[in-house]
Chain A
């Protein structure tokens, strides 16, 4: 499908979702150019992911009917647009939330090759940092810890390495640092922990356990 068709489809979705008028903003040439650049970059990244859901025969693609693709495009585009037209970035962020039931704000820092997998109900801290190839499943929660009675300027946010997979309903809080190539098993709760590289996490703080990770979580990406 041509970028122009994808732009028109994307625009129609956002206009339909957002409670306020944003149609004119989509007509600005800077916005159209920004969409084209962002779209091409996401397709390029998808072309490196060896999975039919992202690429076929080495060709990356975006299907807006795949809500995971919609989420990725919304995130990357709203992030690119925030300095150009913050109201439009807000509208895209809004549309992303209502369509995907996922809260991934455009101020977030997520590395290349972001791979959300039907992440319904995931709420990920926009002040945490996430490495490349981050895979996000449903119900994942990332955020500060012990925030009651604490001014937000004192909140400490997790740092997540490259090649991390956060499986369903896992939670990562506070001054946790997750190493590279880490798989977080479903339902795990990690609070203020330092997780080494190359492991699989089970259980919950303070009885957390890890085992060696036999796989390279980034093998799916050919760079």
Chain B
């Protein structure tokens, strides 16, 4: 799965999680850029991604997920 496809899929996941059909995320997007991306939203996002891709992130992996790019890279690695 290439990273562009993952980013496209994440776009929909983000829109669902934040209940915002107009939300646009790019690789450099971080929690500082999205209204409502607080700690609880972050957890919801992670759980949704794990279910969607049928993958499980380790605690060490989760501890360094700062940006959308970090998430894309990790999904690409885990789902390969």
Contact = CB atoms under 8 A, between A and B. Distances in A.
Q: Note whether A and B form a binding pair.
A: yes
A90 B42 CA distance: 46
Contact of B63 (A193, A199, A202, A203): A199
Given A209-B46, A212-B65, A212-B66, A200 B59 contact: no
A217 to B, nearest CB: 14
A211 B62 CA distance: 6
B60 interface: yes
B43 interface: yes
B64 interface: yes
Nearest to A195: B59
B76 interface: no
A194 interface: yes
Contacts of B17: none
Interface residues of A, number: 17
Nearest to A198: B63
Interface string A69-82: 00000000000000
A185 B42 CA distance: 14
Given A212-B64, A212-B66, A202 B59 contact: no
B39 interface: yes
Interface in A183-216: 185, 193-200, 202-203, 208-212, 214
B63 A196 contact: yes
Interface of A: 185, 193-200, 202-203, 208-212, 214
24 contacts: A185-B39, A193-B59, A194-B60, A195-B59, A196-B59, A196-B60, A197-B63, A199-B62, A202-B39, A202-B43, A203-B43, A208-B59, A209-B43, A209-B47, A209-B59, A210-B59, A210-B63, A211-B42, A211-B43, A211-B46, A211-B63, A211-B65, A212-B63, A212-B65
